[in-house]
Chains A and B, each alone.
Chain A
């Protein structure tokens, strides 16, 4: 089930009514959250619900065992086992065909007459997200940063909480479990803020991302026919589209969390106002970058073992971050480029006005998105060559271009002056901004129910 579907608009009010009817009984309310979250997930494909349940059961019991075990060696062995199980599921569903393809390419290049048949594997929605939820829990229990809970329902609700289940943010048990284990209460101010944040999310997704997607998809499907300017223009639009698509989803998830009293951590903080790549990763998909920092970069040594090791750690972290997004060389190159820019910025110390720094960071980020969005490496290279051969300003659809530019402008103004307005402005101003955003949705929205980009990860 996706947020911008009819099914969700039926599901949400029913959930809302029953959830608040159970407000005085925490146990029943948590059971209801869990059942609803499983239903939300099963609505997409019931077969993969069992994988989700299996993951939660295994992590729940392994965490208890790791905690109760006294021998450090056994604790470590248990941790390694559960990490292997979690990553094993992820690797099988997400990376099997990628590796088989790579072997086949290698055999072909080496002249070995061997081709391995690819498997018909469907990628379970949100597997990368809930695997990381689970991993953070068991690793934190191992490091004794979190007490394992003996309440399976609360734990499974933390992993499967439907607003964050399929596209994050990637929550930590230490933040989420207390909210599921203590009595929740109704807070009208928080709930009203949640409603406004949901409006922002739908504005970003339906009005901006899905509208821009029409032009971007057209360009990427007709790369070798459209003008170089159309390609360049679509690169810019894709930067806006992916931001609005993903942060729009997150805003809806955070808004729902606020309404139901289970607040999630912020995942985006105006990333295109970043002045360099470190700044960008502190603003973009914050829950993933902090996860990679805490569970990969720092355990590898972080910046504690000299400059060379630090650079190496940065590059490995970003390459794996790229691979986390998808099983393709394009994602690895995308991660690698971010790694490279993160390393380079430590050596290039030029003081420039903030506006220049922001524009340079945005331009470079936009170029990295080429690899993220392209169907193949060949397409990416073609795009990068084309954009240096712009000789006119021909676009495929002038009217859609005008609409896209207007929406990008509205987003810029919104992020510059009205970012998180629902936390700062008075109730009438907030209502007025909500109203303007909803009117933009119905006036400029694309109501084709376009999927969220990050669902595929």
Chain B
């Protein structure tokens, strides 16, 4: 029995030591060499333009085009499912290192329910402000768990190449288009008061550190826009508050510039990036 218990002890000890060593090795390598955008951000946190938001932000602003063609110092920090509770700590990080920057925030994510999946904790493993919002402590017990996420894979996948080529080149199918057009009416946001409070907080957080919040609404596949019954109410809110806001739906993209009903494809992204950054303060 004693040998059996010792064996369990040795195994746990070996696991504990090895996972720490592996974590340090992986983290060091990825933080210093990966071309994944968050790895790049932590190596070089100073930029003029930042983009935040969920997949709609990620797919609307083509970072490569902005940098190479428009000559902008821009980094797109949007990721799939980025909700408002993740936007706040990222703005904290931006504020720590930047003054006079413009932070472009896509507003669709605000209304999404809080995502407790915690996957997003890992990619900012060296960000204390981000870790504060993670309710569970399990990642501190087993650091290797921090790498157990899609962001770890992204960091590995984009080790040698920047992850700004990931915007889809697919064109929405005519069948999906027809389905979208025949869909029912629904709200864009479900809790108007909470939404407005979060927008106000973001505005305050950015301006208090000398940065400018620039809210925007990424384009929807045009036939689907009419389904949102509170669209006018939301745009009116920004008018009333006089916040900097761009509604990209007004740019009237062709239907074939969409990958699906909520995401632009690469053509749409190029068009939208040009529109946004050539007229950054239009309403």
- Residues on A lying within 8 angstroms of B by beta carbon are 20, 186, 188, 191-192, 195, 199, 259, 394, 397-400, 402-403, 431, 434-435, 438-439, 442-445
Residues of B within 8 A of A259 (CB): 4
Is A195 a contact of B148 with CB atoms below 8 Å? no
Which residue from B11, B145, B148, B150 sits with its C-beta under 8 Å from A438? B11
Q: Are B7 and A192 in contact (CB under 8 A)?
A: yes
Partner among A199, A399, A445 whose Cβ is within 8 Å of the Cβ of B153: A399
Is the CB–CB distance between B11 and A431 below 8 Å? yes
Q: Does B194 contact A (CB under 8 A)?
A: no
List chain B residues, Cβ under 8 A from A442: 15, 19, 142, 144-145, 148
Q: Please classify the interface of chain B as helix (H, G, I), strand (E, B), loop, or mixed, using the class held by over half of its residues.
A: helix
Q: Contacts A20-B1, A439-B19; is A402 near B144 (CB within 8 Å)?
A: no
A438 to chain B, nearest CB (A): 5
Question: Residue B24 at the A interface, CB < 8 A?
Answer: no
B18 at the interface (CB under 8 A from A): yes
A157 to B39, CA, bound (A): 56
| Residue B10 lies at the interface, judged by CB distance under 8 Å to chain A | yes
Question: Which residues of the partner chain B approach A188 to less than 8 Å between Cβ atoms?
Answer: 1, 3-4
- B147 adjacent to chain A (CB < 8 Å): yes
How far, in angstroms, from A403 to B14 measured CA to CA in the complex? 25
Q: Does A431 lie within 8 Å of B154, measured CB to CB? A: no
Q: Is the CB of A439 within 8 A of B22?
A: yes
Roughly how many angstroms separate A431 CA and B154 CA in the complex, as a whole number? 31
Say yes or no for B157: interface residue by CB 8 A criterion: yes
Chain A residue at minimum C-beta to C-beta distance from B148: A443
Q: Tell me which residues across on chain A come within 8 A of B147, comparing CB atoms.
A: 443
Q: What residues on B are CB-neighbors of A445 within 8 Å?
A: 148
Set of chain B residues within 8 Å of A402, measured between Cβ atoms: 153, 157
| A431 touching B10 in the complex, CB below 8 Å, given contacts A20-B1, A191-B4, A439-B18 | yes
Closest chain A CB from B122 CB (angstroms) = 11
Tell which of A20, A195, A400, A439 touches B7, judged by Cβ atoms closer than 8 Å: A195
CA distance A195 to B22 in the complex (A): 24
Known: A186-B4, A397-B150, A443-B147. 16 other contacts (CB 8 A): A188-B4, A191-B1, A192-B3, A192-B4, A199-B11, A400-B150, A400-B153, A431-B7, A431-B10, A431-B11, A431-B14, A434-B11, A443-B22, A443-B144, A443-B145, A444-B148
Quick check: is B8 within 8 A (CB to CB) of the other chain? yes
Whole-angstrom distance between the Cβ of B13 and the nearest chain A Cβ: 10
In the docked arrangement, what's the CA distance between A191 and B6, Å? Answer: 12
With A399-B150, A400-B150, A402-B153 as contacts: A439 and B15 at CB distance below 8 Å = yes
Shortest Cβ gap from A405 to chain B (Å): 11
Closest 9 CB pairs of A and B: A399-B153, A191-B4, A188-B3, A438-B15, A435-B14, A442-B144, A399-B150, A188-B4, A192-B7
User: 13 interchain pairs (CB within 8 A)?
Assistant: A20-B1, A188-B1, A192-B3, A398-B157, A403-B153, A435-B15, A435-B18, A439-B15, A439-B18, A442-B19, A442-B144, A443-B145, A445-B148
Question: Which of A191, A399, A438, A439 lies in contact with B154, CB distance below 8 A?
Answer: A399
Contact with A along B150-194 (1 / 0, CB 8 A): 100110010000000000001000000000000000000000000
* Residues 4-48 of chain B, each 1 if its beta carbon lies under 8 Å from chain A, else 0: 100110110011001100100000000000000000000000000
Q: How far is the CA of A445 from the CA of B147 in the complex (A)?
A: 11
Complex Cα distance, B18 from A394, in Å, reads 37
Q: B23 to chain A: closest CB distance in Å?
A: 9
- B150 closest partner in A (C-beta): A399
0 or 1 for each of B131-153: is its CB under 8 Å from A? (1 = yes): 00000000000101101101001
Chain B, residue nearest A192 (CB) = B7
Inter-subunit contact B144/A195 (CB<8 Å): no
User: Which residues of the other chain, A, contact B144 by a CB distance below 8 angstroms?
Assistant: 439, 442-443
Is the pair B8, A195 in contact by a Cβ cutoff of 8 Å? yes
Cβ contact of A186, chosen from B1, B11, B145, cutoff 8 A: B1
Interface hits, B214-260 → A, CB 8 Å: none
User: Which residues of chain B are within 8 angstroms of A20 by Cβ–Cβ distance?
Assistant: 1
Of B10, B11, B14, most A-chain CB atoms within 10 Å: B11
| Cα separation A399 to B148 with both chains bound (whole Å) | 12
For B23, give the chain A residue with the smallest CB separation. Answer: A443
Residues of B within 8 A of A438 (CB): 11, 15
Shortest CB distance B39–A (Å): 15
For the complex, give the distance between the alpha carbons of A199 and B8 in Å.
11
Closest to B170 in A: A394
Who on chain A is nearest to B12 by CB? A438
A394 CB contacts on chain B under 8 angstroms:
170
Residues of A within 8 A of B19 (CB): 439, 442-443
**How near does chain A come to B164, taking the closest CB pair, in angstroms?**
15
Q: How far is the CA of A7 from the CA of B74 in the complex (A)?
A: 48
A435-B11 contact in complex given A188-B1, A402-B157, A442-B19, C-beta closer than 8 Å: yes
B214 to chain A, nearest CB (A): 30
In the complex formed, the residue of B with least CB distance to A398 is: B157
Restricting to B86-106, which residues have a CB under 8 Å from any CB of A?
A: none
Shortest C-beta distance, B205 to chain A (Å), equals 31
Q: In the assembled complex, which residues on chain B have CB atoms less than 8 Å from the CB atom of A195? A: 4, 7-8, 11
Q: Which residue of B lies closest to A399 (CB)?
A: B153
- Name the CB-closest residue of A to B153: A399
Distance from A184 Cβ to chain B, minimum over Cβ atoms (Å)? 13
Chain B residues with CB under 8 Å of A397's CB are: 150
Q: Which residues of B contact A186 (CB under 8 A)?
A: 1, 4
A11 to chain B, nearest CB (A): 17
